[in-house]
Structure 1
């Protein structure tokens, strides 16, 4: 069994629950539609040609072959007329026979396109978290995302299933089935469950590689299944932590399967890939030291904000207005973290019609979290690089942090002015924290190009109440 004696490894009874097409399922249930049989997609900014598909039902994915985070102009039909889009079909190599065109248009006519409602999704997520808490303490629950979560049921199995003749594996399956049932009864949403009587990693792998294909949408992978299941994962990119770039690096070492990774020399992996290579070696052997009760908290390496503009911005003044707003918003987050930054970066992506490379620039600065100073640096970077063209994507980020107590002062600085500016900045932050970001706004936020007021009403970057899409 490879390098490891699994009898010496710690064991926990873990269930990993994933809501099936969560956003789309919530929207289907709210409309009295079947989540698995309805063609529905959640689309941000569906009123223009650049709508972003945030989520889609299983039927939508099956019919149109589109995953989440794609654009409305990539669909084989026009979202307004619901007619077949021949230009997209030709670009994507889709058939244009009368039968296929009719098939697409029939489904397009009954496809439901809805705007996101983040407040509703958060409300449903809270309902689901309360269900989890019926089976485990808060300390035993680790939300992985808004639609996924780990539950450590180690201390709960015998309480809910006291029969000593039933194995821990069967008890875990029984409780997981109850959780699925309770979620469906409460929310109408179907869920998929990966289980493991070993560790969280194997529960996640069970969900991704088997549970989604079973009739009851559950699967259990434990140490005993490493050789028969983990090593048999067909595509390396189906393994947690391996993307296309990592796959290429592993291929250069002669590693083309998970089994080969699990039996490779870990010293070579560390030399070629660093600590990540060693982690992948252990994971390929089913070893995972993560703890649901003590989740890893990454160090703060950078703070940033990005957005896709609702239309092409072709006036430099309008672009700079949005950059100013984003520079201020990230500066506020920097002060909340009690940090100052030493690096400022921007990204400006052009409209797809411009055929220009995006602007990427950064500069080293003296430590600061002052909004005015940071805004000046952001605009300076932009003005040095930008000449002309319509812009659609913008990002601002700050990095290389130091403690906010650090202050570099030169002989030419006006100390009194600096202190006055900091007091004003602190007062504004205090008011915004207590009464909301929009309580104090600059006059230019009333301009048409401004995004600050609109974005202050968003949750997770999307509409809270679904007012931005097709009705």
Structure 2
């Protein structure tokens, strides 16, 4: 993963030889959108070349430099229309062409976009969305494009209308002004390296994850008033996963949140080997919010808050593993192993462990 990141940084640097940083939008660890509108005439001023030809030549130059500097073959999806068609050109066609480039425009919607065979091959449509579309009698992108947008809005809300526009090749997104969804909660997930069959081992990992997300809460100066839990079973179990949540008094204390997670787990779990788990804290409030009941030991709560704050500061200065519970030495503990991973691909997000 570290090598992957290093190569990605090199490629991002190459992009800046052809476009300004404002015209580059990293989309994932191995994809990016480039707006080359302002670069075409600079690199190819010939008036006898149209925009499509200039874009193809400039994309070819970028491919060659990436290969020359890194040895990596790259694919390019292009469009003079919008980012969506460029993305579809990349995913559907470019990977299978000799040049590893493809350009889709509005003129290609009926012949190429509508020709996409599986709904799940289309950007933004997963298996669940595809099933819901199937229930509406929609099994292809062409059928989606010709569906009644009002019916789609009734079933999916504004997302349904967006799917209808996309199926017709219409996309108003802007590389210079990307949409950033507002998060109202903090969560984390992980796929376990093996089936966890003993309940005590499952609870051990749940407590570790509850702590990790609690650290993130404190870093953001938030408290959670709702906890959510997901438990996915091993394939051999052939049973439905657990997905549940409960409201709690706002808290950011590891001990309190961990206890709530375990209580919720014990209420729902009966038996079975587990392979995937996720924890989420929602309904966040500022950490200045505080409420006590007549039965709370306020002095004990304040001591716990100071203790966890001290532990957080030590970990921030010396690393997450500088202070660990004895349980982290157990065979099935995941906290130390996950703290050594890079990025979120293997750990479902490592913020709180770094």
What stretches of structure 1 of length at least 5 have no aligned partner?
Answer: 1-117, 465-471
Q: Secondary structure at the match of 1:397?
A: strand
Selected match of 2:125 from 224, 239, 242: 242
What CA deviation, in whole Å up to 9, does each residue of 1:155-212 have, x standing for no partner?
1111111222211111111111011111111221111110011110110111122212
CA drift of 1:311 comes to: 3.6
**How has the CA–CA distance of structure 1 residues 326 and 296 changed in structure 2, closer, same or farther, with 3 Å as cutoff?**
same
Q: Supply the distance in 1 between the matched residues of 2:96 and 2:17 (Cα, whole angstroms).
A: 27
Q: Specify the alignment match of 1:105 in structure 2.
A: none
Q: Specify the alignment match of 2:7 in structure 1.
A: 124
Q: Supply the distance in 1 between the matched residues of 2:26 and 2:115 (Cα, whole angstroms).
A: 28
Contact map agreement 1:194 1:205 (CA 8 A) in 2: yes
Selected match of 1:442 from 301, 319, 325: 325
Bigger Cα displacement from structure 2, 417-426 vs 201-210: 417-426
Q: Supply the distance in 1 between the matched residues of 2:327 and 2:44 (Cα, whole angstroms).
A: 63
- Pairs within 5 Å for 1:105-254: 118-254=1-137
What CA deviation, in whole Å up to 9, does each residue of 1:109-146 have, x standing for no partner?
xxxxxxxxx11111111111111111112221111111
What CA deviation, in whole Å up to 9, does each residue of 1:29-67 have, x standing for no partner?
xxxxxxxxxxxxxxxxxxxxxxxxxxxxxxxxxxxxxxx
Contact map agreement 1:206 1:219 (CA 8 A) in 2: yes
Q: Supply the distance in 1 between the matched residues of 2:345 and 2:143 (Cα, whole angstroms).
A: 43
- Work out whether 1:317 is the aligned partner of 2:200: yes
Q: Supply the distance in 2 between the matched residues of 1:213 and 1:166 (Cα, whole angstroms).
A: 26
Contact map agreement 1:202 1:222 (CA 8 A) in 2: yes
What CA deviation, in whole Å up to 9, does each residue of 1:371-418 have, x standing for no partner?
110011112122334455544333322223223332222233233332
Higher relative contact order (CA 8 A, sep 6+): 1
TM-score, structure 2 as length reference? 0.89
Q: Specify the alignment match of 1:44 in structure 2.
A: none
- Pairs within 5 Å for 1:416-427: 416-427=299-310
**How has the CA–CA distance of structure 1 residues 255 and 395 changed in structure 2, closer, same or farther, with 3 Å as cutoff?**
closer
**How has the CA–CA distance of structure 1 residues 245 and 454 changed in structure 2, closer, same or farther, with 3 Å as cutoff?**
closer
Bigger Cα displacement from structure 2, 249-258 vs 295-304: 249-258
Q: Secondary structure at the match of 1:210?
A: helix
Q: Supply the distance in 1 between the matched residues of 2:342 and 2:253 (Cα, whole angstroms).
A: 26
Contact map agreement 2:66 2:72 (CA 8 A) in 1: yes
CA drift of 1:268 comes to: 3.0
Q: Supply the distance in 2 between the matched residues of 1:462 and 1:297 (Cα, whole angstroms).
A: 20
CA drift of 1:353 comes to: 4.9
How many residues are paired up?
347
**How has the CA–CA distance of structure 1 residues 249 and 306 changed in structure 2, closer, same or farther, with 3 Å as cutoff?**
closer
Q: Specify the alignment match of 1:338 in structure 2.
A: 221
**How has the CA–CA distance of structure 1 residues 156 and 364 changed in structure 2, closer, same or farther, with 3 Å as cutoff?**
same
Bigger Cα displacement from structure 2, 123-132 vs 233-242: 233-242
- Pairs within 5 Å for 1:231-310: 231-310=114-193
Contact map agreement 2:141 2:167 (CA 8 A) in 1: yes
What CA deviation, in whole Å up to 9, does each residue of 1:278-298 have, x standing for no partner?
111221222111111121111
**How has the CA–CA distance of structure 1 residues 309 and 271 changed in structure 2, closer, same or farther, with 3 Å as cutoff?**
closer
Selected match of 2:287 from 404, 423, 436: 404
Q: Secondary structure at the match of 2:246?
A: strand
Bigger Cα displacement from structure 2, 404-413 vs 170-179: 404-413
What CA deviation, in whole Å up to 9, does each residue of 1:257-313 have, x standing for no partner?
433433443233323332111111221222111111121111114322223333444
Q: Supply the distance in 2 between the matched residues of 1:280 and 1:331 (Cα, whole angstroms).
A: 36
Contact map agreement 1:198 1:222 (CA 8 A) in 2: yes
What CA deviation, in whole Å up to 9, does each residue of 1:316-371 have, x standing for no partner?
33332222111101111222233222222223344455565544443211111111
Q: Supply the distance in 1 between the matched residues of 2:341 and 2:61 (Cα, whole angstroms).
A: 35
**How has the CA–CA distance of structure 1 residues 253 and 442 changed in structure 2, closer, same or farther, with 3 Å as cutoff?**
closer
Q: Supply the distance in 1 between the matched residues of 2:88 and 2:230 (Cα, whole angstroms).
A: 35
Q: Supply the distance in 1 between the matched residues of 2:153 and 2:345 (Cα, whole angstroms).
A: 41
Q: Supply the distance in 2 between the matched residues of 1:315 and 1:279 (Cα, whole angstroms).
A: 45
Q: Secondary structure at the match of 1:191?
A: coil
TM-score, structure 1 as length reference? 0.68
What stretches of structure 2 of length at least 5 have no aligned partner?
Answer: 348-354
